[in-house]
Amino acid sequence: MGTFTVEEFKESRSYQLEAFPNECSLTAVYTVTWSPSSALDPYPGNVAMLAAVAKPRQRPNSFIHESDGYHKTLVSREVTVTPLMERTYAWRVTIRYSTRGPLQDGAGQFCIVTRSTSIRQAALYRSGATLPTNGTPSGFTDIAGTAVDLNGNPREYEVPQTLVSVEV
């Protein structure tokens, strides 16, 4: 019969916080994947996949609210499902949850928190570099490691990063 698995994209949650009585929302992105139980297991079809994802006007799964009282007040308002072309039997599901309940920080002020992930390029001259044992170089110190540059020109190295914006 096969099984559907739902996994949240890492760092996918974003919050839109508004002053009461406006809606505060949480957007989360998931991957829904169907895995056959055997090589002869037929694909159940897109209708079965749609049955495996959240529907509008439902509460979020327990791994979203994690016993947090505020998250338990959220209700799904919008569900977008798109197939992942790079994987077989996989879909990207974006769900927007919202509530009209107030959210306040310790000072009673409302804020908007947005997280986004990206990759930046960095210059890479050496790999496996080391620092002096006491952390302070004295005189001429080589960081050692393996040279990976090309005739003095650094290679590009991708560094993942997360940008967190807090508006008060």
Question: pLDDT 10s digit of each residue in the chain, 168 long?
Answer: 788 888 888 788 888 877 766 788 888 888 888 888 888 888 888 788 777 777 766 766 666 656 666 677 788 888 888 988 888 888 898 988 888 765 544 444 556 677 788 888 888 888 877 776 776 666 666 667 788 888 888 888 888 888 887 765
Q: In this structure, what are the phi and psi dihedrals at residue 67, rounded to the nearest 5 degrees? A: 65, 20
CA–CA–CA angle 6, 36, 80 (5° rounding): 35
- How many Å apart are CA 91 and CA 23, to the nearest integer? 28
Strand partners, 41: none
Distance CA 77, CA 98 (A): 7
Rounded to the nearest angstrom, the gap between the alpha carbon of residue 47 and the centroid of all alpha carbons in its chain is: 26
